[in-house]
């Protein structure tokens, strides 16, 4: 997700610093974006000019201090409240007071992420969808203490990046993932009952006119991420976790979907 967000910002001419705790991961992310842009150019989605401008704007860094002074920081770390809280406590110290802090959380409360912050008015939820260059929607979520200025800046920025913002409530799953949660849980239940992943996907594609079925969508987003989302949604709605057994088994086997080469489907590298 982080790479996709960086790509759309750089495509309109922004300088984007890519940072990851794992050494070398930011350089690899830039390489993945370069490969994806080449494919997109071949398909006619982007021009050579946009590809070059995007790549020129992407700067992998190995130390967060190199990005001091940026206008916006977009966080896309894993979906765990304590991890996100720690990241923003550090970011508050490492950035200028006027820098907006965005979390790309899929479903964790913005109010909760901001709770240990000294300046929670700087934090806003800005939720992108996979694959980011292709999906037009961005949910904008205010926490209890997010300032109106932070919200308005986020909306204007994502519009400038070619996206359409909607304001979503700071409730578990916001709008889209709350609806998606119901679909995915029922798809997983059908799979446990013996219906094949291909039958489920074909049924949803042709019967509901969705561009892809729920099983391939889970593979696209990442089964580990989906598992985190289902758990977090259940906790937020105060009901038992309902992931079945197929999903946790695949995740335990390291089969995360498209990004690892295997999930419900198998992918060629």
Which residues of the chain form contacts with ligand CAA (CB under 6 A)? 36, 39-40, 43, 45-46, 106, 129-131, 133-135, 177, 180, 211-212, 217, 221, 229
Closest C-alpha among 27, 22, 21, 19 to residue 2: 19
| Helix, strand, coil percentages, rounded to 5, for the chain | 50, 10, 35
Q: Using alpha carbons, select from 260, 254, 253, 246 the residue that is nearest to residue 214.
A: 246
CB-wise, 43 or 118, nearer to ligand CAA?
43
Give the shortest CB-185-to-ligand CAA separation in angstroms: 14
Q: What minimum distance in Å lies between the beta carbon of 212 and ligand CAA?
A: 4
Instruction: Please identify every residue annotated as catalytic.
Output: 106, 127, 139, 177
Residue 69 beta carbon to ligand CAA: minimum distance, rounded to whole angstroms: 28
What burial class does residue 244 get, using C-beta atoms within 10 Å of its C-beta: 0-12 exposed, 13-18 middle, 19+ buried? Answer: middle
Nearer to ligand CAA, 19 or 129 (CB): 129
Count Cβ atoms below 10 Å from residue 245 Cβ, excluding itself. 10
CA-CA distance, 56 to 141, in Å (whole number)?
A: 31
| Residue 79 or 92 with smaller CB distance to ligand CAA | 79
Q: How far is the CB of 192 from ligand CAA (least distance, A)?
A: 21
Identify which of residues 36 and 147 has a Cβ nearer to ligand CAA in the complex: 36
Supply the DSSP string of 71-86, one letter for each residue.
Answer: SEEEE---S-HHHHHH
Q: What is the DSSP string of 170-184?
A: SSTTTTHHHHHHHHH
């Amino acid at each position: 997700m982080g790479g996709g967000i960086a790509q759309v910002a750089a495509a309109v001419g922004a300088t984007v610093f890519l940072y990851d705790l794992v050494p070398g991961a930011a350089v690899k992310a830039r390489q993945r974006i370069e490969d994806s842009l080449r494919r997109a150019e071949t398909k006619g989605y982007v021009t050579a000019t946009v590809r070059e401008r995007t790549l020129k704007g992407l700067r992998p860094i190995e130390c967060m201090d190199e990005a001091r002074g940026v206008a916006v920081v977009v966080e896309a770390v894993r979906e765990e409240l304590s991890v996100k809280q720690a990241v923003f406590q550090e970011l508050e110290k490492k950035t200028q007071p006027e820098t907006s802090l965005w979390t790309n959380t899929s479903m964790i409360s913005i109010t909760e992420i901001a709770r240990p912050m000294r300046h929670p008015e700087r934090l806003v939820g800005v939720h992108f969808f996979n694959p980011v260059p292709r999906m037009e929607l961005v949910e904008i979520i205010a926490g209890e203490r997010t300032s109106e200025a932070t919200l308005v800046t986020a909306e204007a920025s994502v519009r400038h990046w070619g996206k359409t913002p909607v304001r979503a409530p700071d409730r578990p799953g916001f709008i889209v993932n709350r609806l998606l949660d119901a679909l995915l849980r029922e798809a997983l239940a059908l799979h446990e009952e013996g219906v094949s992943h291909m039958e489920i996907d074909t049924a949803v594609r042709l019967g509901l006119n969705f561009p892809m079925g729920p099983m391939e969508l889970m593979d696209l987003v990442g089964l580990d991420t989906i598992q985190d989302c289902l758990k977090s949604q259940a906790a937020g709605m105060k009901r038992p976790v309902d992931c079945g057994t197929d999903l946790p088994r695949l995740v335990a086997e390291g089969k995360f979907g498209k990004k690892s080469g295997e999930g419900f489907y198998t992918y060629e590298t």
